[in-house]
Amino acid sequence: MKIAVLPGDGIGPEIVAQAVKVLEALRGDGIKIELEYAHLGGAGYDAAGDPFPPATEKLALAADAVLLGAVGGYQYDALPRPLRPEQGLLRIRKGLGLFANLRPALVYPELVNASSLKPELVSGLDIMILRELTGDIYFGQPRGIRTLDNGERQGFDTMHYSESEIRRVAHVGFQIALKRNKRMCSVDKANVLDTSMFWREIVTDVAKEYPQVELSHMYVDNAAMQLVRAPKQFDVILTGNIFGDILSDEASMLTGSIGMLPSASLDANNKGLYEPCHGSAPDIAGKDIANPLATILSVAMMMRYTFAREDIAQRIEAAVRKVLQQGLRTGDIYEAGMQKIGTVAMGDAVVKSL
């Protein structure tokens, strides 16, 4: 297993270090794992003047999988857009063709009370959000800030989805649904956007190849509401890049903390980039308080999707469960009666239970 490790910025290096401990423990069990490090985001800018340096690109292209922490930091906010950390993330996603972003929102029984919703609404919750990751308004051209004929300035972006982009991600969605409860809800804004009308048409067409899967459609505003009203109605949610960005943050809070949400971004051959859904949290960086579980759970997803080692994936997930059962909590998921521990201690606890 050739893994490129990109710690990134903010809490990235701390949480990735815990996930690397898990990988090293697996290596100790005889699994052949090679780790190579490179810079991404602000760290790339600091090291090489580029948020996605050529050396990082080369390493990422050569690896089987990429483990990423997070990117971004206040000190980079004033840089011109092409040098901003987020561009590193967008370029690596695009450069590796990682169009299918899987964000599972799973509520662990131990964390039912950490959710902002009533326990009965979230207990047993298990949603898979599939977000298209390399198209939509994120990458559409033209975009920019222009001056109109009347002299007024205007910001603009372009939303579009081509048929092949919709088809390939829809197939991934149906395939995932087949392995789960066979229900998929495609989320769009077809009552307003032509892009969404087309999205709905193509998803409906792809559905003909999957008669076993029950397909429904929902407008994104309604989906945002349903996620907090009755989240258990969902099995797989398929949606575009920008809607998926927003809905996955919302869904993360159902699980108790965004610090618990892993993600996988896959290409057509299951090569993948694995990262927590949360950001670089510069305000808590270096304080040993960040939750490393989303990153550790991202390693589990890596084992499942890129390396087809469901056994190892389940072993890591079971280790995380056990640590939660022991009452160990980082601050973001802490509740009275539990034992509050830091980032490093949480990583150690997972390795021990592994």
Given 46, 214, 245, 267, the residue binding Mg ion (CB under 5 A)? 245
From the list 34-42, 74-82, 245-253, 296-304, the region that binds Mg ion by CB under 5 A is 245-253
**Marked catalytic residue, from 157, 245, 288, 348:** 245
100 or 206: whose CB is closer to Mg ion? 100
- Interaction between residue 89 and ligand IPM (CB under 6 A): yes
Based on the number of CB atoms within 10 Å of its own CB, is 103 exposed (0-12), middle (13-18) or buried (19 or more)? buried
Interstrand relation of 272-276 and 339-340 (parallel, antiparallel or unpaired): unpaired
Cis peptide bond upstream of 142, omega within 30: yes
Active site residue 136: no
Catalytic residue among 64, 249, 288, 348: 249
Tell me which of ligand IPM, Mg ion, none is bound by residue 15, counting a contact when its beta carbon lies within the kind-specific cut-off of 5 to 8 angstroms: none
Tell how far CA 105 is from the center of its chain.
10
Stretch that binds ligand IPM, among 14-22, 30-38, 86-94, 139-147 (CB under 6 A): 86-94
- Position 86 contacts ligand IPM (CB under 6 A): yes
Map the footprint of Mg ion across residues 39-98, applying CB under 5 A: none
Q: Which does 86 bind (CB under 5 to 8 A by kind): Mg ion, ligand IPM, none?
A: ligand IPM
Among 245, 250, 267, 288, interactor with ligand IPM by CB under 6 A = 245
CA distance 242 to 279: 16
CB 23 within 8 A of CB 33: yes
Looking at 165-173, 244-252, 292-300, 311-319, which segment touches Mg ion (CB under 5 A)?
244-252
Out of Mg ion, ligand IPM, none, which partner does residue 6 contact, by CB within 5 to 8 A per kind?
A: none
72 three-class SS: coil
CB of 294 to Mg ion, least distance (A): 13
Nearer to Mg ion, 291 or 353 (CB): 291
C-alpha distances in Å from residue 110, one per residue of 56, 106, 313, 327: 38, 11, 20, 8
Residues 251-310 contacting ligand IPM, CB under 6 A: none
The dihedrals phi and psi of 52, each to the nearest 5 degrees, come to: -135, 75
| Cβ 66 vs Cβ 60: under 8 Å | yes
Partner in contact with 89, chosen from Mg ion, ligand IPM, none, beta carbon below 5 to 8 Å by kind: ligand IPM
Which residue type occupies 43?
A: A
Write down the residue that tokens 């695009």 correspond to: 94
Which residues 6+ apart lie within 8 Å of 38 measured at CB?
4, 5, 6, 53, 55, 56, 59, 60
**What angle do helix axes 12-28 and 343-353 make, rounded to 10 degrees?**
20
- Give Rg (Cα) of the chain: 20
User: Cβ 229 to ligand IPM, closest distance in Å?
Assistant: 23
- Interacting residue ranges for ligand IPM, rule: CB under 6 A: 86, 89-90, 245
The catalytic residue positions are: 138, 189, 221, 245, 249
